[in-house]
């Protein structure tokens, strides 16, 4: 086996196909083409190493992440909070109803329980950088 992408110093061994797929995804993102990649597998097969590879080769992109935590499974919006916390500086750019729903969901403002549809729209708006 050999180290993949040694020019970037990734340290990944035997993962050429996976790294090439991730490189294509980043190329699409940089070209403003939407892309989705589902990475799944058993514990210990290297999913985190591949995500670290993406983070390390994603210059010019904002990288945010969330990790599933079993103890937070019943906590409303726990994963959304992890994902969006670094993006909250953009919250003022959101349309009022989305901003209010996200603020309520995160406990930043008092109000009725957040509408899940509006929270979803707010998350999408934050991630794509459009309010």
* pLDDT 10s digits, 47-93: 889 989 998 998 888 788 777 778 888 887 888 888 888 888 899 99
SS (H, E, C) 11-58: CCECCHHHHHHHHHHHHHHHCCCCCCCCCCCCCCCCHHHHHHHHHHCC
Q: What pLDDT does residue 76 have?
A: 77
pTM for the predicted model, two decimal places? 0.65
Q: Which pLDDT does position 71 carry in this prediction?
A: 82
Structure tokens at 67: 């990790």
Residue pointed to by tokens 């999408």: 124
Nearest to 56 by CA among 82, 14, 87, 23: 23
């Amino acid at each position: 086996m050999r180290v993949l992408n040694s020019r970037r110093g990734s340290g990944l061994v035997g993962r050429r196909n996976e790294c090439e797929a991730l490189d294509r995804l980043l190329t699409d993102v940089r070209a403003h083409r939407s892309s989705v990649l589902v990475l799944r597998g058993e514990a210990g097969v290297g999913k985190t190493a591949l995500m670290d590879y993406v983070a390390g080769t994603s210059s010019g992109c904002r990288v945010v992440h969330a990790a599933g935590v079993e103890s937070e499974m019943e906590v409303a919006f726990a994963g959304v909070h992890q994902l969006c916390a670094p993006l909250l500086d953009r919250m003022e750019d959101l349309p009022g109803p989305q901003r209010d729903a996200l603020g309520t969901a995160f406990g930043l403002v008092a109000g009725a329980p957040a509408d899940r549809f509006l929270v979803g729209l707010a998350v999408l708006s934050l991630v794509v950088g459009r309010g």
